[in-house]
Amino acid sequence: MKMIKSVAIVALMGGCAIATMDVRPASALTLMDFIRGGRKRTPEQAYPVQPGYDMMAPQRLEDRTAVKPPKVSSPRYYNYKPEQMRRIATDRLVDPVVTGSVQSYGFPPMLRIPLADARKLLPQVEVRAPAEVAKAVEAFYAGRTDFVWIGGEGVNGRARAALAVLDDAAKVGLDPKDYAVTVPAGDFDPADMVAREKDLVQFEIAMSAAVLTYVEDTVRGRIDPNKISGYHDFKRKSVDLVAFLDKAATSADIAALIEERNPKHPQFLALKQELERLRAETAAAPRVEIAPGTLLKPGDNNPELANIIAGIKLKASEALKTEHAVVLAGYQGTPEYTPELVSLVEAFQKEQGLKADGVVGQASIRVLTGGDTTASKINKLEIAMEQARWLPNDLGNRYVFINQPAFMAYYTDQGAEQFSMRVVVGSKANQTYFFHDEIQTVEVNPYWGVPQSIIVNEMLPKLRSDPSYLDRMGYQVEVGGQVVPSYAVDWYGSTNSIAVRQPPSSDNALGELKILFPNSHAIYMHDTPSKSFFKRDQRALSHGCVRLAEPRRMAAAVLGISMEDVGKEIAAGHNRALPVPQKVPVYVSYFTAWPNKDRKVEYFNDVYERDMYMNRAFDATRKARQQAEG
């Protein structure tokens, strides 16, 4: 019996809700009879239809087996919709009250014109920007009579220093095209002063919009994470753009003022350095790039064959290249995978310890390109730098960092990593969310409150054929807060008001303890009886929560006590919630590129394919911004 029970527990392990279903209240339809002594009923009486739940439900018990159980769906990924660009309403900046006063208004001395006339040029300015940027530019210039980026000689030094930062946006993982500004030519026709003034006014407004867009992007990122999927949960950062322009107008070092808005934590700086290194490496050393997903078989025609042969020339030993010198010398870059080229590839595969079958797939490409291609690494770095902007600018001196693609959790204290451990995260069907919160409680000898997703998707089909299933497995069922036997519940009704939990035991799905950081996704860290899962390399296996390989160690760290003290609390055998003396930030993150404690960037597989959705979001944003420029 214990073996059967353990198998059932393992099958339902994970213990986290990933979604909810909007259904009306349920009832234990035989509950009152149970309390009154269990009066027997006919099958029709034992399972009457819950009014208002499903008026189409069959009235006869024997017919109910034909009713499919409901399903709780997981969050979904969205078709990313970028922020739309809008025209900056420069026509609203015209001041009809000011007329006739002759002022330079920041223009070159030889081009002094009445201020009112200068303002009349503003409606002709066509600059589009993200909504918040446009609003800030309008607010800034509505209260000013001078310019920031132009002066007596036209485009001033402040503008040129800022342009240098915008042009170098790629070094911080951004796209310089997003901040491109047309600079008025240094020479002009003195006979066409109005055109010159219009160009300068256009530049002034466009420059402010570009700088503010860059600043906003560096602070919070180009991508709104909550528009990517329901698995992302972030409060988007706000930026006081008007205040920034005020500072920019008087700053003695505009480049430093702009650049300092980028994240400052060591991890971001390590990503930035790695990006610079890879780009320099790409420019300095010959490398081979082979299109992802390439599969080449003998007899195929594939344009990637030329890159494959180029890779062999770079990676093969001198002995192999000498043996196949005639074939290598005679190859002209054609796509036909001929028998002599197959022999060359087979020899290379054998030399590299691969299966020598002449089929060039993922394993061969990884060797030919040196693992992840430089292009793919750069892409991962750009995504990581974007996602890092969603996190606080300073991660703190003490925190827990979980990186799902790495299947690892790290504990940092006093600014240094103290330890790390393997974790199990949600499967692809039950993904762990991407968010940050604060650890508040450690619960020892916990109950496992079975989430609705597991009750509906996994338990309900079993309970409809065997209502006493949960009783035999040792679970506790509550309806409206009243404990009832599982066989006393109508499992054909809604489960929305039914709670199922597993009491503390050696078989409990949460093991000895769980670490709570209250969030709307019911995700937490916990122990598990399934220790063998930690031996696997791919550990996306849970229902969404994070299982810890060393839960006592993590609990001791966040509680500020010894592991022995944690053990004593567990050994007492009581279910007890231990408050954390000081809340600890926890980052439940998703980075396919992230630095280790030595600041060396490591790369991980995209287990949930979220990088693909990030790239789509980049493309959509780039398209929206470039169309606005056009």
Residues with catalytic roles: 526, 545
Distance CA 432, CA 522 (A): 10
Q: Taking a C-beta distance cutoff of 8 angstroms, is the pair 242, 266 a contact?
A: no
Q: Specify the DSSP class assigned to residue 111.
A: G
Helix (H) or strand (E) holding 471: helix 469-473
Residue 437 burial (CB count, 10 A): 20
Sequence-separated (6 or more) residues with CB below 8 Å from residue 107:
113, 118, 150, 197, 200
Distance (Å, rounded) from C-alpha 337 to C-alpha 321?
A: 18
- State the DSSP code for 1: -
Q: Which residues 6+ apart lie within 8 Å of 473 measured at CB?
A: 5, 8, 9
- Residue among 536, 552, 530, 558 at smallest CA distance from 413: 558
* Cα–Cα dist 388/239, whole Å: 16
CA gap 563, 179 in Å, rounded: 53
Q: Which two tokens stand for residue 164?
A: 């240098």
What is the C-alpha separation between 438 and 400, in angstroms, rounded?
A: 9
Tokens of residue 82, six digits:
């970028």
State the Cα–Cα distance between residues 521 and 588, nearest whole angstrom: 12
Reading the block at residue 528, the tokens are 């598990």
In this structure, what DSSP letter does residue 91 have? G
Classify burial at 492, counting beta carbons within 10 Å of its beta carbon; exposed 0-12, middle 13-18, buried 19 or more.
buried
Phi–psi pair at 413, nearest 5 degrees:
-140, 140
- The Cα 446–Cα 347 span in angstroms is 58
Distance of CA 390 to the CA centre of its chain: 9
Indicate the helix (H) or strand (E) that contains 594. strand 593-595
Rg (CA), the chain: 32
Q: What are phi and psi of 221, to 5 degrees?
A: 95, 155
Alpha-carbon distance 336 to 381, whole Å? 35
Place of tokens 């960092």: 401
Residue 515 near residue 525, CB atoms below 8 Å? yes
**In this structure, are residues 345 and 360 in contact, taking their beta carbons and an 8 Å threshold?**
yes
Q: Coil, strand or helix: which one is 24?
A: coil
User: What is the Cα–Cα distance from 571 to 549, expressed in whole angstroms?
Assistant: 19
Residue 413's DSSP bridge partners are 416
